[in-house]
Structure 1
Amino acid sequence: MLSVPGALDAEQFKAICRGHPGGVSVITAQGPDGPVAFTATSVASVSVDPPILIFSVSSLSSAAPSILAADSVVVHLLDADDVDLAKLAATSGVDRFADTSAWTRLPTGEPVFPGVRAWTRAKVVSHLEAGGSTVVAVHALQGQINRGAEHEAGPLVYHNRTWHKLGAHSRLD
């Protein structure tokens, strides 16, 4: 019979999750004091009809209050060509929108980084408190693909505290 260890603490849980890679996205919204952004590895599609995505935002994120108050967001799905944006949106204390040539606003007002692999504007449909984070469900309304999934840059993933790209070298058949 397997012996089950005691309670899992935060550090053990982080160590378990570090071994599970996540696709990298940047979420943006318009806040009361301007645009906000954060990097997420928690984006997942949960339905295609209607098209629903989920992501989580930590209460520790400076973007959290604006993201959680927003009626709509833009979910940017990144590839390795977008690693600089991923790093920028993951860095605390910087103006993520200082380079005005890298982003614009959609006609509906949300900030968007139009050069990423793909993005979707989405309406927030629900929130679920989950520990120190909130899971946000959004209904994808509009979007654009700039580079297909087969693009040579390869998908951007985060694994064990480092950025990686997937490609033919990592394919298992």
Structure 2
Amino acid sequence: MSIAPSHFQTIVPTDQLTESVDVDTFKAAFRMHPAGVAVITTDSGDRPAAMTVSSLASVSTEPPMVIFSLSRMSGAAAAFLESDNVVIHLPGAAQLWLAQMAAAPGVDRFADPTQWTRLPTGEPVFPDTYAWLRGRIVSRLEAGNSVICVAHIVQASVPDAETLVNDQSAPLVYHARTWHQLGTGSKI
């Protein structure tokens, strides 16, 4: 069943939102919501940019699409708004250094040329993450002080199942302002 395009519209423009929970309460609620971690890179032509996000979600398998949000206040935001190509890195616990570096303000994320390279298509990639996905931004939606990006995935580097079970690929999670890794001890 397809949904007619007329069903997709802005119901209430953000400048007309009059009732909101305060910022600190909103942040406190999501502080306790665990989230997977991704590092996203791009290059708008000036220089490569990277940021850590916890907002990555798959939204479609046919075609393969993901969404993520970026804060307009981020130093990397301009590069992501000017470029249509991204590489989404899925770091494991062994790549905590990458997630921390891409989250830290004022850090040159590409200072060490031994940690990253460029794909033949030009995008910067950190090849040591357990998986990465190259995507093309197909839609952007303003949402308050953030922008939601929809990316169509056109290329991927994903390990085989045996590689995924070793400790080096333990999933990296952010919860209560702290980095965590998932393992057999977290299984319920």
Which TM-score applies when normalising by structure 2?
0.86
Is contact 1:149–1:155 with CA below 8 Å preserved after alignment? no
Q: Distance in 2 between matches of 1:33 and 1:125?
A: 21
Q: What is the aligned counterpart of 1:156 among 160, 167, 172?
A: 172
- CA-to-aligned-CA distance 1:151-170 (integer Å, 9 cap, x gap): 32310000010000000000
Q: Is the 8 A contact 1:116 1:146 kept in 2?
A: no
Contact in 2 for aligned 1:83/1:156 (Cα 8 Å): yes
User: 2:118 is aligned with what amino acid?
Assistant: R
SS of the aligned residue for 1:68 comes to helix
Q: Matches of 1:63 and 1:7 in 2, distance apart?
A: 28
> 1:133 aligned to 126, 146, 152, which one?
146
Q: Which has the higher strand share?
A: 1
The residue matched to 1:163 in structure 2 has which SS? strand
For residue 37 of structure 2, what is the aligned residue in structure 1? 24
1:43-82 CA-to-partner distances (Å, cap 9, x unmatched) read 0000111100000000011111111111110000111011
- Measured in 1, the distance between the counterparts of 2:58 and 2:165 equals 19
- Alpha-carbon contact 1:25-1:40 (below 8 Å) kept: yes
Q: Which runs of 5+ in 2 are unaligned?
A: 1-18
Aligned identity (percent) is 50
Deviation at 1:32, TM superposition (A): 3.1
The range that moved more, 24-33 or 102-111, is 24-33
Higher helix share: 2
- Displacement of 1:94 in angstroms is 1.1
What does residue 3 of structure 1 align with? none
CA RMSD of aligned residues (A): 1.3
Alignment partner, residue 52 of structure 1: 65
**Residue identity in the other structure for 1:38:** M
Match of 2:24, SS state, is helix
> Which stretches in structure 1 are left out of the alignment for 5+ residues?
1-5
